[in-house]
Amino acid sequence: MKSINLLFMTAALALTSCGGTTGTGQPESLIGPSEIKIENKRMTPEALWAMGRMGDVVVSPDAQKIVYTVAYYSVQQNKSNRDLYIMNADGSDAKHLTRSPYQESSPVWIENGSRIAFLSNESGSNQIHSIRPDGTDPVQITNYDGDIEGFAFSPDELKLLFISQVKVKDSTADLYPDLPDATGIIVSDLMYKHWDEWKTTAPHPFLADFSGNGIANVIDIMQGEPFESPMKPFGGIEQLAWSTDSKNIAYTSRKKTGMEYAISTNSDIYVYNIDSKQTTNITPENLGYDTNPQYSPDGKYISWLSMERDGYEADQNRLFIMNLATGEKRFVSRAFESNVDSYTWSADSKTIYFTGPWHGEVQIYSLDLANDVVKPITSGKYDYVAPILLGDKLISKRHSMSMGDEIYSIDMNGATAQLTNINKNIYDQVEMGNVEGRWIKTTDGKEMLTWVIYPPQFDPNKKYPTLLYCQGGPQSAVSQFWSYRWNLQLMAANGYIIVAPNRRGLPGFGNAWNEEISGDYGGQCMRDYLSAIDAVSKEGYVDNDRLGCVGASFGGYSVYWLAGQHEKRFKAFIAHDGIFNMEMQYLETEEKWFANWDMGGAYWDKNNATAQRTFANSPHRFVDKWDTPILCIHGEKDYRILANQAMAAFDAAVMRGVPAELLIFPDENHWVLRPQNGMLWQRTFFNWLDMWLKEPAGQKK
């Protein structure tokens, strides 16, 4: 356990226009909007990295102000910083609220809207600070001995709930104090690694008294249990919730460790009563994920997201509510045959507004709790994210394949107004390619939505090199996503047509479509990929002699698989963080429930027909058919799919005499997060494609 320092810090933060200072008293450089100049109206990697990235969005109690965060990145400095901004509810009078070299995040309105609390690492660790809406009177509220990773004040603001890590495993130095420099890690059970870290700590919810002058009487409400709440690697404060009367805390936890944790997704919603200090599991009957609780504003209900089946992390994400007086539970989103991604209650507790994928878009829907009728509010080729109430309207972040996140207001009839335009200076200089949705016939007679993205200034009388984009997940929707790495408009700006199919195994087309991939990685989903590229290749503007295939994660598996099965369709492949050897992946990955469900079981179970089919379709079994140049990319801190998968694929290609290149990042995980690594990724990616699809074959620029 960490020691707790309850000292209240009153020193003002360096949150002025002059920025912060280092320990030597020298000002640190600030990172903010760039004056980048773009030539020929074509998107570039430099332009992508110059963009501000919208983060948290919160509305003031009187619905008159909106606070939001924006992060900017510097390739030269190889780092980022995130600041708070504030504007009127109609988008006017936007101002920089904090201006520092630190990371400000997670803003929350407190004291009836007279102050804004937020996280900042100004003191060297993540602590809670607050500031007035006009930017004056900055103070540090906590000086906890450890990082605070998320927080929520009770509705009466007398208590503070926050997340911090607790130690759950002894280090080598704990076991052998006379070996303080030994770096070995002793492992005796599964889940010894997770995502990109060696698992030695777990996040816990802590409760403290709050007086406006700091915190006191801090307790771990899980009482030192070795479990996680919220759940790693991506859970945050959304997995915890205060009751409206400030007497109870609902939290998400999978109360398992070791192998039991590694093979199960059975998390539950627990309710901790502050007075009795007793904890109750309110979802013991459900065997899959239960996450993200919220209490209704009238205090009569608690809601949460729920997956039904244990071990299936891509099961339908359903919205449930429970009547707190009777204990009655109801699956209220049954009419929506897809996932509920995020949701919020109406002020009168009669409606829930939620987002979910359907036909390659993520829209906002209303759910009338009187009859559980679901109706769409928004429409168009967009993805909406995490709607929240703004008086009689909603506000939400929105993005598409042609624009990153901005804040929009939405009335209940679906009329929208854009409130922010943080990257206007870049969008004004860039011409985006047209995004077209096509329904393509599959080999089993179904209709498949495929997005086709054309180069800017597309000329149908010319012929273009064309890329098949293979989605990861494996069950992540090919919706109107915007990525700062896998950016389809950037690929189009480099002169490529992009074909992005919603192949079998993706949500938004009914549960049967979504589930037709588990235990069948090399089956219909691969035939869907080939149906998509074959259909678009019939167009006169597609150069069939210059087709490429790219993808990451399951998309990387798809690339490795297609490299041995494509029958000379493609002239270049790029696989990022892909699975090459399924047998090794089954043992190497940390989340065994994923491998068991998706692969059907262990490769040594000779009586398991599904598993045997899976491992018979491992890409490494078809290397004898590889004949096309391939680029393999991987991060060595990727513990979901280990980097040796890319190394093995690269080695196999070279030994087969196939032109190949390997890009390894020793300090990146399943993603590429550092600016200069991101730029290196983009340059390597396009150099490879250009070399084999544009330049005379094999000649670098």
CA 65 centroid distance within chain: 27
Out of 34, 520, 670, 690, pick the active-site residue.
670
438, part of any domain = yes
Q: How far is CA 611 from CA 555, 556, 617, in A?
A: 20, 20, 10
Low-confidence ranges of the chain (pLDDT < 50): 1-27
β-pairing verdict for 342-345 and 290-295: unpaired
142, part of any domain = no
Q: Could you give the 3-state DSSP secondary structure of residue 261? A: helix
Q: What is the pLDDT of residue 12?
A: 33
Q: What is the pLDDT of residue 213?
A: 76
Residues 6 or more apart whose Cβ sits within 8 Å of residue 289: 265, 266, 267, 305, 306, 307, 313, 315, 317
334, part of any domain = no
Q: What is the pLDDT of residue 103?
A: 93
Q: What is the DSSP letter of 228?
A: B
Question: One-letter amino acid identity for 382?
Answer: Y
392, part of any domain = no
Q: What is the pLDDT of residue 701?
A: 55
- Using a 10 angstrom Cβ sphere, with 0-12 exposed, 13-18 middle and 19 or more buried, the burial of residue 214 is buried
Place of tokens 């429409």: 379
Could you tell me the residue range of the domain that residue 683 belongs to?
431-693
CA 211 centroid distance within chain: 35
Q: What is the pLDDT of residue 18?
A: 34
Q: What is the pLDDT of residue 32?
A: 79
Backbone φ and ψ of 9, nearest 5°:
-95, 125
β-pairing verdict for 660-665 and 139-140: unpaired
Residue 670 a catalytic site member: yes
Q: How far apart are the first and last CA of the chain?
A: 56
Give the C-alpha separation, 359 to 510, whole Å: 9
Give the C-alpha separation, 478 to 381, whole Å: 12
Q: Structural domain tally of the chain?
A: 1
Instruction: Give the tokens for residue 385.
Output: 């994210």
Q: How far is CA 277 from CA 166, 205, 218, 272, 681, in A?
A: 19, 13, 13, 6, 51
Give the C-alpha separation, 225 to 632, whole Å: 41
CB atoms within 10 A of CB 94: 17
Encode 419-446 in three state secondary structure.
Answer: CCCCCHHHHCCCCCCCEEEEEEECCCCC
245, 159 in Cβ contact below 8 A? no
Q: What is the pLDDT of residue 394?
A: 98
45, part of any domain = no
Query: Which CATH number characterizes residue 633's domain?
Result: 3.40.50.1820
Give the C-alpha separation, 357 to 564, whole Å: 32
Residue 638 a catalytic site member: yes
108, part of any domain = no
Place of tokens 């002020």: 347
Q: Could you give the 3-state DSSP secondary structure of residue 182? A: coil
Residues 6 or more apart whose Cβ sits within 8 Å of residue 574: 548, 549, 550, 551, 559, 630, 631, 633, 685, 688, 689
Q: What one-character-per-residue DSSP string does 649-661 give?
A: HHHHHHHTT--EE
Q: What one-character-per-residue DSSP string does 229-255 give?
A: SS-TTT--GGGEEE-TTSSEEEEEEB-
466, 488 in Cβ contact below 8 A? no
691, 634 in Cβ contact below 8 A? no
Q: How far is CA 379 from CA 376, 398, 476, 577, in A?
A: 8, 12, 20, 34
Query: Strand ranges (DSSP E) for 333-381?
Result: 342-345, 351-358, 361-368, 373-376
Out of 268, 290, 383, 638, pick the active-site residue.
638
349, part of any domain = no
Out of 553, 566, 598, 618, pick the active-site residue.
553
The pTM of the full predicted model, rounded to 2 decimals, is 0.94
Residue 553 a catalytic site member: yes
281, part of any domain = no
